[in-house]
């Protein structure tokens, strides 16, 4: 199972040559951390840079970031946004209303705020978070504390607000209908659930309905519905998991690799035990998913990038050859981010 899942995640043979290939394969990449979602693309591709990701967001308009699965920001292809959004976000609205109420913002004020945000992005164009805050403040809408982020989420859930182009180092908000190409033909819910199940297993198989439900933020019943719709395309394993049918030889484990914070490998299944093992601290109690090193398919260290240097902190003993491979990958992290070359620091 381990090797199959890592191969499905495109970690064993990272042959993609565009950000769109990686994101299209994974379907949705957790994206509340801007550097982290870019590093998720690095580890699953060859020869790309962070600037290539920015070009897809800004110039080609083929990738967007918005609230999708589990009420969390995700990076998705523009063409997939149109069916993922109505499938995965309606169930988030009640929680959004509750959080805004806790911030002291009434439903009537939320309606007014959404109108202000919509007008800003449709009449002016791409707007930064600060510019939208200024507009809301001018309209008498409170934006202190966590109010602003939940108002932006409300505009995303109720309309078509997405994060698109980069302005220097900040990603701007836009209206999807104005910024993106015309949407494809709309999928009805059964067809969307079938597509979700197929695309999920392509990047996460083998898995089961509980895994799909956890990843997408849908009910287990809807997950079963989607899997039943594509049952003719699946094989059932002896361990009870299912996968897309294929005849390939069992994949090899990936070489040692540095994965960024919030990497998709930690979000794709109901349990991440098969990756983190006894190193549960990779996911902190306040919900931070640390960047970590993968050797023989499992986590063996955590790492950070500070002042342009990668520092690796071992969680267990690592062979010298694997350390050298991780040091080489650390150099590629700097290349990807267009930072000067510096040797990595490895700590016990």
Phi, psi of 263 (to 5 degrees): -60, 145
- Other Cβ atoms less than 10 A from the Cβ of 3: the count is 14
Cα–Cα distance for residue pair 49/315, rounded to 1 Å: 29
Question: Using alpha carbons only, how large is the chain's radius of gyration in Å?
Answer: 21
Residue 250: per-residue pLDDT: 67
Is the link from the previous residue into 189 a cis peptide, with omega within 30 of 0?
no
Torsion of CA 114, 117, 120, 123, to 10 degrees: -40
The residue among 348 and 305 whose pLDDT is bigger is: 305
- Residues in Cβ contact with 136 at an 8 Å cutoff, skipping those fewer than 6 apart: 113, 116, 117, 143, 148, 151
Region 129-152: mean pLDDT is 96
Question: Tokens representing 252?
Answer: 């090899």
Torsion of CA 217, 220, 221, 222, to 10 degrees: 30
Residue 285: per-residue pLDDT: 81
Q: What is the pLDDT of residues 246-281, one digit of tens each?
A: 756 567 899 999 999 999 999 999 999 999 999 999
The model's confidence at residue 225, banded by pLDDT at 50, 70 and 90, is very high
Q: Where are the domains of the chain?
A: 14-179, 257-347
What is the three-state SS of 221-238?
HHHHHHHHHCHHHEEECC
- Residues in Cβ contact with 128 at an 8 Å cutoff, skipping those fewer than 6 apart: 167, 170, 172, 173
Cα–Cα distance for residue pair 117/168, rounded to 1 Å: 21
Using an 8 Å Cβ cutoff, are 300 and 318 in contact?
A: yes
Cα–Cα distance for residue pair 4/204, rounded to 1 Å: 9
Q: What is the pLDDT of residues 20-43, one digit of tens each?
A: 999 999 999 999 999 999 999 999
Using an 8 Å Cβ cutoff, are 14 and 265 in contact?
A: no
Q: What is the pLDDT of residues 97-106, one digit of tens each?
A: 999 999 999 9
Q: What value does the mean pLDDT of the chain take?
A: 95
Q: What is the pLDDT of residues 66-124, one digit of tens each?
A: 999 999 999 999 999 999 999 999 999 999 999 999 999 999 999 999 999 999 999 99
Burial class of 215 by CB neighbour count within 10 A (0 to 12, 13 to 18, 19+): buried
DSSP letter at 79 equals H
Q: Count helices and strands (H / E) in the chain.
A: 15, 12
Largest Cα–Cα distance of the chain, in whole Å? 62
Nearest Cα residue to 290 out of 270, 278, 304, 308: 304
Whole-prediction pTM? 0.95
Residue 155: per-residue pLDDT: 97
Residue 166: per-residue pLDDT: 97
């Amino acid at each position: 199972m381990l090797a199959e899942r890592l191969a499905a995640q495109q970690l064993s043979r990272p042959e993609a040559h565009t950000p769109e290939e990686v994101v299209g394969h994974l379907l949705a990449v957790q994206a509340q951390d801007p550097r982290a979602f870019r590093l998720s693309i690095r580890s699953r591709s060859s020869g790309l840079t962070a600037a290539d990701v920015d070009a897809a967001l800004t110039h080609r308009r083929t990738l967007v970031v918005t609230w999708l699965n589990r009420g969390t920001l995700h990076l998705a292809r523009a063409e997939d946004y149109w069916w993922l959004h109505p499938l995965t976000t309606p169930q988030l609205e009640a929680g959004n209303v509750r959080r805004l109420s806790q911030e002291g913002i009434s439903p009537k004020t939320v309606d007014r705020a959404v109108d202000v945000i919509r007008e800003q992005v449709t009449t002016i164009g791409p707007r930064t978070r600060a510019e939208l805050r200024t507009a809301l403040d001018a309209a008498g809408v409170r934006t202190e504390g966590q109010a602003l982020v939940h108002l932006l989420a409300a505009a995303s859930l109720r309309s078509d607000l997405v994060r698109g182009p980069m302005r220097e180092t900040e990603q701007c908000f836009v209206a999807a209908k104005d910024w993106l190409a015309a949407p494809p033909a709309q999928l009805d819910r059964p067809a969307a659930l079938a597509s979700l199940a197929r695309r999920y297993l392509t990047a996460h198989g083998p898995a089961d309905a509980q895994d799909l439900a956890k990843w997408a933020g849908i009910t287990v019943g809807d997950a079963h519905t989607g899997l039943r719709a594509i049952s003719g395309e699946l094989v059932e394993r002896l361990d009870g998991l299912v996968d897309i049918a294929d005849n390939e030889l069992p994949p090899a484990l990936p070489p040692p690799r540095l994965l960024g914070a919030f990497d998709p490998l930690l979000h794709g299944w109901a349990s991440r035990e098969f990756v983190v093992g006894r190193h549960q601290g990779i996911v902190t109690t306040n919900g931070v998913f640390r960047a970590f090193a993968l050797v023989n398919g499992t986590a063996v260290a955590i790492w950070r990038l500070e002042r342009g240097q990668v520092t690796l902190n071992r969680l267990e003993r690592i062979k010298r050859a694997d350390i050298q491979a991780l040091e080489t990958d650390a150099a590629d992290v700097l290349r990807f981010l267009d930072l000067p070359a510096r040797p990595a620091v490895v700590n016990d």
